[in-house]
Amino acid sequence: MVTQRTGLSGTPVVPGLALGPVVLARGEVPEAAVSAYVQPATPEAALAAYDDAAATVAAGFEAKAERASGATAEVLVASAGLARDRGLRGAVRKRVNGGDALLDAVHGAAEQFVGTFTAMGGLMAERATDLRDIERRLVARLVGAAEPGVPTPEQPSVLVAEDLAPADTAGLDPAVVLALVTERGGPTSHTAIIARQLGIPCVVGAAGVLDLPDGATLLVDGTTGAVEVDPDPDAARARVAADAEQRAASASWSGPGATIDGTRVKILANVADGPSARSAADAPVEGVGLFRTELCFLNRDVEPSAEEQADIYAEVLGAFSGDGSGDGSGDGERYVVVRTLDAGSDKPVAFATLPGEENPALGVRGLRLSFGNPDLLARQLDGIAEAARRTGTETWVMAPMVATVAEGAEFAEAVRARGLKPGVMVEVPSAALLAHRLLEVVDFLSIGTNDLTQYTMAADRMATTLAHLTDPWQPAVLQLVAITAEAGRQVGKPVGVCGEAAADPLLACVLVGMGITSLSMAPAAVRAVGARLATTSHDACEEAAEAALAAVDPAAAREAVLAVLEQGA
């Protein structure tokens, strides 16, 4: 039976409740300005006009980047680079020289690049939204209109859009933008990334939200994905106040992770490099549950030597060396789980990824790269071992995209030979189904729910139209997590979760109820997850797990789990 729902709903990506009037972000340049545009007289003049517009658009991104920080600044700098891109300019020039009108040439060139990005899939496909935003800004500049984007609301409001580009999200002020709701966009879209950073409740993929009239009042639930239109004002205000109280309480959570009745759960951070590790080390975490090493090499054409890799890894390990309790007792020793290169598919690394694969997500990515190039893995393990030796940090090493027990065994042998603790990620359904056999050959498992969801549901994790399938609350995904956790429980070995699922406070309770021993997440999510667990009993977590596994779909699972946890069983 499929549940029938009334009202709007989407995929929740940042928890929290918000109530406010709709403000619609409109992305189009006024039609009248476009039709009144007079083409430059010659191809040279057209290209000069294009260069002016591109420089102005890029400078606008750069100015915003200077006022921003972190991930927001990075995406704005990337957009500025895209606006100045020589390839894009070359495509415009070719079309103008071939007789196209300038606006048609800009549109044609942008579409050509959107097509290329989309065909590459994964993270590159997400850049299509950025490119379309740049095209609209170029056209606005050329026709002398204001660049499109997000209006500045006069009163605190819920911002509704088709999808938001980095430039739209960068200037958002959480004081006036209470929540974000988009019709498109997935859990890894820019909208989601920036909303998470700003702590604004956010729901993506909410079909029909663009049809709401300006001025309707919305109650947005970033925990369940429900978007209520014109709710009862008193009841809605009371729910928002209770939620705000809970969020304030979570801000003061200081670890370590445990349920209210004392079941310990390690709360860990996901990091990408030295700076992100040093910043994560200040959060109330017991270490790093996922160091994505490939992110250190996205701009490298040549593989760094084992020595150079050791320097890079030591920066991360060094941030977690010694006793994190601060009392010198040794009780709070922190550890770092290093993941070997997960190059390929959505994370192409020039020196490792195989070119021209038909279907990179199902191709030679992650550990599979070492099949034809064993020295690549050997050099990385040497670099990790050297960094561990230098820093004295407890270091675990895991492989991504493991599909068979033999792969796990071979990897474990190579890791143990270097005196480190081996584990594998569970991202492929075959690994979850054989978790008990994998645990005979490795010391720990870490479930990558982002890929496990993608491969279980056969749905590209970046496909904005498939957000309802790429949802870790899908019962089939939860079944595989439960099988994996149970395998760990039976032999007393750690089984963690390091995908986005671990950052969802509600789902975290479900995972702990299944027997998951650690949760690793973006540091911004740590306090909300820790605080939720700290107010929940282990029995309630187990009941929540049963309720989620029995539900027919993600929405029903969230509802059932909320009901269990609100009873405080």
**Active site positions, annotated:** 190, 498
Query: Do 48 and 245 touch, CB atoms closer than 8 A?
Result: no
Counting contacts by CB under 6 A, is residue 449 touching ligand PEP?
yes
Q: Which strand ranges, in their side-by-side order, compose the sheet holding 226-229?
A: 8-9, 226-229, 217-221, 17-24, 157-161, 177-182, 202-204, 11-14
**Cβ closer to ligand PEP: 176 or 350?**
350
**Cβ closer to ligand PEP: 168 or 342?**
342
**Cβ closer to ligand PEP: 132 or 292?**
292
Nearest approach in angstroms of CB 308 to Mg ion is 25
CA dihedral sign of residues 203, 208, 212, 217: negative
Which span sits near ligand PEP by CB under 6 A: 120-128, 161-169, 219-227, 448-456?
448-456
| CA dist., res. 37 & res. 16, Å (int) | 45
The candidate with the shortest Cα–Cα distance to 512, out of 210, 301, 259, 335, is 259
The candidate with the shortest Cα–Cα distance to 220, out of 27, 511, 23, 25, is 23
| CA dist., res. 414 & res. 392, Å (int) | 20
**Cβ closer to ligand PEP: 290 or 547?**
290
Query: Do 519 and 511 touch, CB atoms closer than 8 A?
Result: yes
Which span sits near Mg ion by CB under 5 A: 317-325, 372-380, 451-459, 557-565?
451-459
| CA dist., res. 54 & res. 102, Å (int) | 13
Counting contacts by CB under 6 A, is residue 11 touching ligand PEP?
no
**Cβ closer to ligand PEP: 287 or 499?**
499
Applying CB under 6 A, among 348, 423, 448, 523 the residue interacting with ligand PEP is: 448
**Cβ closer to ligand PEP: 180 or 343?**
343
b/e sequence 9-42, b meaning 16+ C-beta within 10 Å: bbbbbbbbbbbbbbbbbebebeeeeeeebeebee
Applying CB under 6 A, among 290, 511, 564, 565 the residue interacting with ligand PEP is: 290
Q: Please give the helix or strand (H or E) that residue 315 lies within, else none.
A: helix 306-318
Counting contacts by CB under 5 A, is residue 460 touching Mg ion?
no
Counting contacts by CB under 6 A, is residue 488 touching ligand PEP?
no
Whole-number CA gyration radius for the chain:
24
Applying CB under 5 A, among 20, 121, 383, 448 the residue interacting with Mg ion is: 448
Q: x/- site string to Mg ion, residues 411 to 440, per CB under 5 A?
A: ----------------x-------------
Binding to ligand PEP (CB under 6 A) within 380-439 occurs at 427
Query: Do 311 and 303 touch, CB atoms closer than 8 A?
Result: no
Nearest approach in angstroms of CB 290 to ligand PEP is 6
Nearest approach in angstroms of CB 468 to ligand PEP is 18
Which option in ligand PEP, Mg ion, none does residue 286 bind, with CB closer than 5 to 8 A by kind?
none
Nearest approach in angstroms of CB 449 to ligand PEP is 5
Nearest approach in angstroms of CB 342 to Mg ion is 6
Residue 10 CA to its chain's centroid (Å): 17
Residue 569 CA to its chain's centroid (Å): 32
Binding to ligand PEP (CB under 6 A) within 305-344 occurs at 342
Counting contacts by CB under 5 A, is residue 472 touching Mg ion?
no
Name the burial class of residue 516, with classes exposed (0-12), middle (13-18) and buried (19+) by CB atoms within 10 angstroms of its CB.
Answer: buried
List residues binding Mg ion (CB under 5 A).
Answer: 427, 448, 451
List residues binding ligand PEP (CB under 6 A).
Answer: 290, 292, 342, 427, 448-451, 498-499
